[in-house]
Amino acid sequence: MPSDLQLKTMNLVHRVILTASFGKLGWAAMGMPVVELTTIGRKSGQPRTTMLTSPLQEGDKTIIVASRGGDDHHPAWFLNLRDHPEVEVRIGGKPKQPMNARIADPAERADLWTKLTAAHQNYADYQSGTDREIPVVILEPLSK
């Protein structure tokens, strides 16, 4: 499992690549679009931004997975959005968009999990390495 320092370093390197390339590089990783997710810290109340991949997109919904590399603990960004589901999302260098994050219910998760692991085996590998059920999160544009 990656350590907190490794995860923070990977996010920093990713941001450096985006900045140095003027946003031309870094919006795809491992065959998936990259999502810049901004949550509100559940303890601090401050914005927290992290770079994630989205293994599945369905219409205007963006699917992300709280795998943390198969760690036994949920990632901080997941705990933040669980407590504060209104988030900002930037995909492909486009402007940030306000979205609502919701945790897939058991039936949705089963359906989405089948689809995303068929295309990205690494998520199945992560699940087999932990006893916690890895959450699937659905990001949806806020209703106007």
Whether the pLDDT of residue 106 is over 90: the answer is yes
| pLDDT at site 94 | 87
Domain ranges of the chain: 4-141
Structure tokens at 10: 């990977």
Angle (deg, nearest 10), helices 121-128 and 106-119: 120
Whether the pLDDT of residue 144 is over 60: the answer is no
- Which fold, 4-141? Pnp Oxidase; Chain A (2.30.110)
**Once rounded to an integer, what is the mean pLDDT over residues 23-35?**
75
Residue indicated by tokens 């504060």? 84
**Once rounded to an integer, what is the mean pLDDT over residues 47-52?**
92
Rounded to two decimals, what is the model's pTM?
Answer: 0.85
Sequence-separated (6 or more) residues with CB below 8 Å from residue 139: 35, 37, 61, 62, 63, 64, 87, 89, 99, 100, 101
The mean pLDDT of the chain is: 88
Q: Report d(CA 78, CA 137) in Å as an integer.
A: 8
How many Cβ atoms sit within 10 Å of the Cβ of residue 71?
Answer: 19
